[in-house]
A and B are shown apart, each in its own frame.
Chain A
Amino acid sequence: MKRILKGVAMAVAVAGGIVMAAPAAHAEPAKVDSRYKAYQKAKGIKGNLNSVGSDTLNNLMTFWAEGFKKQYSGVNIQIEGKGSSTAPPALTEGVAQLGPMSREMKSKETDDFEAKRGFKPSGFKVAVDGLAVFVNKDNPVKSLTLTQVDAMFGKSRKRGAAADITSWGQAGLTGEYAAKPIVIFGRNSASGTYGYFKEHALDKGDFKDSVKEQPGSASVVQGVSEDRYAIGYSGIGYVTSGVRAVPLAVKDGDPVYDTSADNVYSGKYPLARYLNIYVAKDPKKGLDPVAKEFLRFVLSKEGQEIVIKDGFLPLPYEVAQEMLKQLK
């Protein structure tokens, strides 16, 4: 009896996950908290701003730069986005004032920065992302557990999967998909998304050698939409009509959650993360005024509306206020 009940509960949870998944595909985009204040233009803002870092944040930075430029015509912003790992050295060398990263800085990177500059870099949360596991739109898979995902992408299987998963049949699919090998798309190692996925989905295990490493998030999505048997991961903002984000559970028997805003905010969706911008805030000299205004813009109503436009989720109001406090 107990087992049956548990089974029913699971089925309900799974079904719930699916029902939630359905509207998410064409749901109205999220809304910015009404408490956010409109951006107030500051005086004396002029000069260059260089941004080097995350590819996930590349488009978001460009959107923000377009918006910031509308406020201050005298500001010249240049954006490079080849991966989060390129941000710390650029900040350390002073080549960039802004270092967008889709993961947190590693202690090694912080130490290197401190050794050269004499103070620690400061990180600011600027948006929320549910790192999505994408499959082709035709793929019938209802949900996956992180254990399964680990067995698909990783070779170490640190999450304790019993066997390697190489075909869709092993992931529970029947029919046409059962015998088809899984084609795996991933990111290159400079990417913060790669680092985050390795740490949180693979539990710091190694990726399989058969992962097709792509130079950008969009090309992962493109690859998955072209290949019916493919799976890949990237920020939820890169979703298209050709792919579907699979609802995820941590392990077998756990409830399944999709990438809806509620699940991401509450942390129930297991791959929710903050997107960050790192800056060199010298405790003596303070932060470069242009960079400071840029962050203030990002944390304003306008800046967070842009986050939604790019398909990511805005920061919870409280977090944004906390960030603004740190900025002072």
Chain B
Amino acid sequence: MAARNDYHRGFWAEGVPFIWISGMAVLVLLAIVIGFLGLIFAKGAGHFWPAPMAQVTLKSGSSVMGPVMETEAIPHAAATRSLFKIGNRDVYGLDFRWVDDAAVEKREYPPDAAVIERSEYGDMHGFIQALREGGAVTARAGPDFHPLLEKKIARAAHLKEEIKKAADDVEHAREPLAKLEVDIRLLEDGSEAGTPEAALKLEKLNAEYDALALKLGDAITVPEQRIESLRKELDAPTLEVALADGQVKTMPLKDVRAFYLPNRMGLSAKAGHYLCKVWDFLWTWPRESNTEGGVFPAIFGTVMMVFIMVVIGAPFGVMAALYMNEYAKPGFFLNLVRLGVNNLAGVPSIVFGIFGLGFFIYFIGGGIDRLFFTDKLPEPTYGTGGILWASLTLALLTVPVVVVATLEGLAAVPRANREGALALGSTKWQMLWNVVLPNSMPGILTGVILAISRATGEVAPLMITGVVKLVAELPVDAGWPFLHLDRKFMHLGFHIYDVGFQSPNVEAAKPMVYTTTGLLLVIVVTLNLVAILLRNRLRKTYKGAAL
């Protein structure tokens, strides 16, 4: 009896069950995090890996070719079916097709099966048979065929670049003309069209236009002729591809971005291909209504928005905290403010979004428009969503985090340090600036880290303050004034929402959702790592700080 009692006392007194429970809690948390990350990376990371191309001949005689995406049991039947990514959306209408495994006569992996990445309509799956130029066959499938094809595709890409450059030259040379064209168009189509004054003006402008066109002459026609000859070369070669079901399709070579033969690739070739695709994903623009191509503008938008938010929000929060901790008299009012700040952190983000819409966009933005952009009204310049307003909204959203963390950092600076500084004759401000603030820097950075994490993953308030599905231009570019804070932007979080819920081709876009989510996580971790490294360095510098 006594022994049991001792055991019992020890068991509870040492809190064994609670140690177990807390240990379990950590374990569960770990399992959730690992499971979540595992799911995202397992589903997303495999997206770019070239899967083997299976060609199945069905008992009905037709044939289907593509990588097998998944195989599932048919409910209430002892059979399975497989989902093939058949590609060729322009021919079949859909990129995916379920095939009952029982209906399959044979399945093989033909070595010549090719995946042709196109600039439109997704991938084409088939056997590349010949290269034609202006109708005549210039090369047929054979030993040297693929290297030749690769060279031709590279050449086409080069030609496109050249055309773009020449087109830029034309546009540059035409700039004065283009300005006149806009004026002429306004006179022809605008409110005064048809009036005698307009006709008079129009005549004058047209004369001016003709004179200018004559003067510019060669500056325009030379690159224009160059474009024409380049186009001719670009348009000439076509590719002949036999599809799995026997149809032969001819497509212009300029639409081919790349091709590869997955069944012939070794491990190293696949790895190389994989890296190329990941690189493409990170650095190119989305194509085909965001279902293909990369996410570069979304990465850029996300990082830039977070950057603006930190630059505006962090100093604001730090100053507020400094005043609250060092200058404000403790009492009812200060407690009220503290309470307010703490509760602000719990306000749903969409409420901040609505505030941003009402205050920043309609009130401030609309005000700016009425003052400085009256000529453009009713078309708004700043009175509509944009990266500046979205960043400001998120800055408001995350300021409480910064304030709370800074307050704690300030409170943790040892009294001795402050008194030492004061004893050496510094003023209160000098003491704060030179002793307290540097020492509480790690605490402030903790706040910034939390703010970054929260802001990067936030989507709801952005949807009404300036995020869009697709932008044509980044908020930073080479055109004056370089930084375009009024522009709308793309954001990775919204991109995930868009691709997952609103994509025209959900099946094809599903892996993109996982890939983009993984990427967003990587960006959050990277941004945080930078801040953490900075904090660790500061900690070493100010060892006296308690944080």
Contact = CB atoms under 8 A, between A and B. Distances in A.
B189 interface: yes
Given A62-B289, A77-B470, A81-B502, 4 more contacts: A55-B502, A79-B470, A93-B378, A289-B182
Contacts of B74: 138
Contacts of B90: 29, 309
Contacts of B506: 218-219, 221-222, 225, 238, 240
B501 A216 contact: yes
Interface string B177-220: 01001101110011101000000000000000000000000000
Interface string B117-128: 000110000000
B502 A26 contact: no
A26 B178 CA distance: 47
Interface in A40-71: 43-44, 46, 48, 50, 55, 58-60, 62-63, 65-66, 69
Interface string B468-495: 1111110000000000000010000000
Nearest to B86: A241
B93 A27 contact: yes
A138 B469 CA distance: 33
A311 interface: yes
A82 interface: yes
Contacts of A176: 75-76
Interface residues of B, number: 55
B505 A286 contact: no
A74 interface: yes
Contact of B94 (A60, A239, A284): A239
A168 to B, nearest CB: 14
8 contacts: A43-B185, A62-B289, A73-B167, A79-B469, A81-B469, A219-B506, A240-B94, A242-B98
A74 B171 contact: yes
- Counting contact residues on chain A (CB < 8 A from B), the size range is 35 or more
Chain A contact residues: helix, strand, loop or mixed: mixed
Interface string B333-358: 00000000000000000000000000
Contacts of B287: 66
A227 interface: no
B500 interface: yes
Contacts of A286: 189-191, 193
Nearest to A222: B506
B456 interface: no
A176 B288 CA distance: 40
B231 interface: no
Contacts of A58: 469, 502
Given A59-B503, A219-B500, A289-B185, A80 B94 contact: no
B171 A73 contact: yes
Query: By CB atoms of chain A within 10 A, which of B287, B384, B488 has the most?
Result: B384
Given A28-B91, A29-B93, A63-B289, A216 B502 contact: yes
Given A63-B288, A309-B120, A95 B380 contact: yes
B92 A26 contact: yes
Contacts of B83: 241
Interface in B349-387: 377-380, 383-384
Contacts of A219: 500-502, 506
Interface string B504-516: 1111010000000
A81 B189 CA distance: 30
